[in-house]
Amino acid sequence: MAYLFTSESVSEGHPDKVADQISDALIDNFLAFDAESKVACETLVTTGQVILAGEVKSNTYLDVQLIAREVIRKIGYTKSEYMFEADSCGVLSAIHEQSADINQGVDRASKEEQGAGDQGMMFGYATNETENYMPLALDLSHALLIELANLRRENNEIKYLRPDAKSQVTLEYSDDNKPSRIDAIVISTQHDDFAAEAEMLAKIKSDLVSILIPRIKAKYPQYAHLFNDNITYHINPTGKFVIGGPHGDTGLTGRKIIVDTYGGKGAHGGGAFSGKDPSKVDRSAAYATRHIAKNLVAAGLCEEVLVQVSYAIGVAKPTSINVVTYGTSKVNMTDGEISKIVENVFDMRPYFIEQRLKLRNPIYSETAAYGHMGRKPETVTKTFQLPNGAPKTVTVELFTWEKLDYVDKVKAAFGL
Q: 172-182: b or e for each residue (b if 16 or more CB lie within 10 Å)?
A: bbeeeeebebb
| Total Cβ atoms within 10 A of residue 274 | 31
Residues 350 and 369 in one domain: yes
**Which has more pLDDT, 69 or 61?**
69
Q: Residue 174: pLDDT band by 50, 70, 90 thresholds? A: very high
Residues 350 and 407 in one domain: yes
| Residues 6+ positions from 401 with CB-CB distance below 8 Å | 287, 288, 290, 291, 294, 357, 373
Residues 286 and 238 in one domain: no
The per-residue pLDDT of the chain, averaged, comes to 95
Q: What is the pTM of this model?
A: 0.96
Residues contributing to the annotated binding site: 14, 16, 42, 55, 98, 164-166, 240-241, 249, 255-256, 272, 276, 280
Q: Does residue 106 carry a pLDDT above 70? A: no
Residues 300 and 404 in one domain: yes
Residues contributing to the annotated binding site for K(+): 42
Whether residue 198 lies inside any domain: the answer is yes
Whether residue 352 lies inside any domain: the answer is yes
Residues 316 and 401 in one domain: yes
Whether residue 153 lies inside any domain: the answer is yes
Residues contributing to the annotated binding site for ATP: 14, 164-166, 240-241, 249, 255-256, 272, 276
Q: What is the mean pLDDT of residues 395-409?
A: 98
Whether residue 355 lies inside any domain: the answer is yes
Q: Which pLDDT tens digit goes with each residue over 1-31?
A: 799 999 999 999 999 999 999 999 999 999 9
Residues 410 and 286 in one domain: yes
CATH number for the domain spanning 311: value is: 3.30.300.10
Whether residue 63 lies inside any domain: the answer is no
Q: Which pLDDT tens digit goes with each residue over 208-261?
A: 999 999 999 999 999 999 999 999 999 999 999 999 999 999 999 999 999 999
Q: Please state the domain count of the chain.
A: 2
Residues 208 and 294 in one domain: no
| Residues 6+ positions from 173 with CB-CB distance below 8 Å | 2, 3, 4, 5, 179, 180
Q: For residues 368 and 354, what is the distance between their CA atoms, to the nearest angstrom? A: 19
Residues contributing to the annotated binding site for Mg(2+): 16
Q: Does residue 303 carry a pLDDT above 60? A: yes
Q: Which of 222, 243, 264 is the last residue of a domain?
A: 243
| Residues 6+ positions from 3 with CB-CB distance below 8 Å | 172, 173
Whether residue 333 lies inside any domain: the answer is yes
| Residues 6+ positions from 290 with CB-CB distance below 8 Å | 124, 125, 126, 373, 401, 402
Q: What is the mean pLDDT of residues 89-98?
A: 92
Residues 386 and 323 in one domain: yes
Whether residue 203 lies inside any domain: the answer is yes
Cα-based distances in Å from 119 to 83, 267, 339, 400: 40, 17, 20, 24
Q: Which of 243, 261, 291 is the last residue of a domain?
A: 243
Whether residue 161 lies inside any domain: the answer is yes
Range of the domain at 378: 120-128+278-414
Cα-based distances in Å from 106 to 40, 98, 109, 169, 313: 14, 12, 10, 41, 8
Residues 345 and 238 in one domain: no
Q: What is the mean pLDDT of residues 75-104?
A: 87
Q: Which of 243, 268, 299 is the last residue of a domain?
A: 243
* Beta-sheet strand order (sheet of 38-46): 90-97, 49-57, 38-46, 251-252
Residues 164 and 124 in one domain: no
Length of the chain: 416
Residues 124 and 164 in one domain: no
Q: What is the pLDDT, as a whole number, of residue 118?
A: 86
The residue among 222, 148, 133, 130 whose CA lies nearest residue 185 is: 148
Residues contributing to the annotated binding site for L-methionine: 55, 98, 249, 280
Q: Which pLDDT tens digit goes with each residue over 369-386?
A: 999 999 999 999 999 998
CB 242 within 8 A of CB 191: yes
Among 55-64, 71-80, 83-92, the minimum mean pLDDT is found in 55-64
% the chain with pLDDT above 70: 97
Residues 405 and 292 in one domain: yes
Among 92-101, 267-276, 307-316, 334-343, the minimum mean pLDDT is found in 92-101
